[in-house]
Every structure is written in C-alpha cells, then in structure tokens.
Amino acid sequence: MTDQPLVLDDEKSPVRTLRLNRPKARNALSLELMEALRQALQGAAEDKGTRVIILAAEGPGFCAGHDLREMTALRDGPDGGKPAYERIFEVCAGLMKGILACPVPVIAQVHGIATAAGCQLVATCDLAVASDQVHFATPGVNIGLFCSTPMVALSRNVPRKAAMEMLLTGEMISAEVAQQIGLINKAVPSDELESATLALANTIAQKPGAVVRIGKEAFYQQLELPVNAAYDYTAKVMTENMMAADAKEGIGAFVEKREPRWSDT
C-alpha cells in the first residue's frame, strides 16, 4: 500500500482532472492502480457537474505499461500463476471498457512516455494531447510478451499497417508520428501541454452535456456495426435527439442568430 492516493482527483467542475500517482514507477499499471483509476473514473462520471475528464500523470512519464515487477512476483508467488494473470488482464480490460462506457469524454494528457498498456490507455481515451517530446511504443515483443491487449485499442485507432509495425517491431515512435497516424489528436510544446489540453476540454465542456453523452455512446456503438445497421441505429439516435429540449433550443438559437441557452448548464 502507499501513503499517497494512487489517483489524484482535483474534483473540479466542469473539467475534472485525474492524475496517475506512481511517479517512481513511471505510473506502471499495478493491479491496485488500475482498480483505483477505474473507481476514480466512475466517481467522476457520476458527478453531474463533470463534463470532461482529463487523464494526466505525475512524475517523468505518463505510463510505462503493466507493472512487470508485480507480474513477476505473481508468477513466482504461492497464489500466482495463471489465475493471477487472468485477474490482472480482466481488471485491465474492465478499466479500458470503463473509459469507453464513461458518459463524458476522457482526454489523455500525455508526457514523457506511454508504452505497452500505457499506450493502450492513450489509444482508449476519446481524445489525446501530448507533449511533442513524448515517445510511444508497444514493446512487448522485445521481452517475449506480445502486446495483445494493447493491440485492441491500437488497431481501432490507427491504420492497420501502422499498428502492425508498432506491434511487430516494438520500436518507439515520436509524438509527431503518433499524430500523423491518429494515435493522438495533437502534439504541443511541453510547456503548453496542460493549457492546450484544458483548452480542448473547456471547448467540449461548453457544449450541451446531454447531447455529448448521446454522441459518445452512439459513436462507439455504430463502430461495431455493419454500415447498413449503423445507419439504422444512428437514424434512431438522431430522431430521439431531435425530440430533446437542447436540440429545439440549439436549432432555434441558430435560426434566430443568438447564443443557445442549454438546459443542462
């Protein structure tokens, strides 16, 4: 156990920042940290004042992936082996699925490094802003442990050949390349990272919250459907959205050339 919280929560609205807090371990995703982050995300999402969550980190790097020291200890310990590993990857999958299911957008604010499951974390977030000095990698192949679970998020966010190159070589890519392939939205100078991320978050936070929640859920739902089914599904979503008070207000404000007054702000 640690004397400090594993996830720092500023508890501010409408933009709420959660910070991974294992700086000496480069914020490696121990079982305890993953569970703490999942709980923190859930708590932030349940706060009606939260419109956007920023996921940042303390120390020299964003996240170095799974805690390999912990995994080694679990392998060799009396209660370790396959059941222990199943538990780790079950919790990790739950964390990633929780980010996708989170009703508000989650933005990764990335500095230093984001490797293996740390790269997975960035790819899973809805948006990502990184320092232009950051390096990303899925280096599991170099240590005999292919990054199979990071592959899920990576392959859904970057072109197939770019994902395969990262997975098969294990080599680092720069923030510039990460932006080019769509792993992150933008790369900014290190001293502008926090302000750039906050500016993006505040832009989203000014939109009608209920509509953003509808849109995020629909985005991920339609991705998993064939094209015809996706159009059928999103047509129903838009029909329901059109019946909402904020749609009436927003369209009215546009026609009347005035600023909208959202019902949930």
> Could you tell me the CATH number of the domain that includes residue 250?
1.10.12.10
What is the predicted pLDDT for the residue at 1?
44
Give the model's confidence band at 4: pLDDT under 50 very low, under 70 low, under 90 confident, else very high: confident
Question: Do 170 and 233 fall into the same domain?
Answer: no
Does residue 265 belong to any structural domain of this protein? no
Question: Do 93 and 131 fall into the same domain?
Answer: yes
Does residue 264 belong to any structural domain of this protein? no
Cα torsion 155, 219, 233, 225 to 10°: value is: 0
pLDDT(79) > 90? no
Instruction: Calculate what percentage of the chain has a pLDDT beyond 90.
Output: 89
Q: Which of 70, 90, 94 lies closest to 80 in space, CA to CA?
A: 70
pLDDT(75) > 80? no
Question: Do 67 and 196 fall into the same domain?
Answer: yes
The residue out of 183, 205, 227 marking a domain boundary is 205
Question: Do 235 and 147 fall into the same domain?
Answer: no
Does residue 1 belong to any structural domain of this protein? no
Question: Do 178 and 62 fall into the same domain?
Answer: yes
User: Can you tell me the distance from the alpha carbon of 115 to that of 122, in angstroms, rounded to the nearest whole number?
Assistant: 9
Does residue 263 belong to any structural domain of this protein? no
Number of domains in the chain: 2
The residue out of 205, 227, 244 marking a domain boundary is 205
Instruction: Calculate what percentage of the chain has a pLDDT beyond 70.
Output: 97
The residue out of 189, 205, 221 marking a domain boundary is 205
Question: Do 167 and 42 fall into the same domain?
Answer: yes
Domain residue limits at 159: 7-205
pLDDT(196) > 60? yes
What is the pTM for the complete model shown?
0.95
Question: Do 23 and 93 fall into the same domain?
Answer: yes
N-terminal to C-terminal alpha carbon distance within the chain: 40
Question: Do 147 and 234 fall into the same domain?
Answer: no
- Which domain CATH number covers 102? 3.90.226.10
What is the predicted pLDDT for the residue at 80?
65
Q: Quick one: angle between helices 82-101 and 68-76, nearest 10? A: 140
Question: Do 76 and 174 fall into the same domain?
Answer: yes
Give the model's confidence band at 42: pLDDT under 50 very low, under 70 low, under 90 confident, else very high: very high
Question: Do 40 and 117 fall into the same domain?
Answer: yes
Segment holding 94, helix H or strand E: helix 82-101
Does residue 53 belong to any structural domain of this protein? yes
What is the predicted pLDDT for the residue at 82?
85
User: Can you tell me the distance from the alpha carbon of 160 to that of 162, in angstroms, rounded to the nearest whole number?
Assistant: 5
Question: Do 215 and 185 fall into the same domain?
Answer: no
- 92-126 pLDDT, tens digit per residue, is 999 999 999 999 999 999 999 999 999 999 999 99
Q: Which of 6, 92, 20 lies closest to 54 in space, CA to CA?
A: 20
> How high does pLDDT run on average in the chain?
95
pLDDT(77) > 80? no
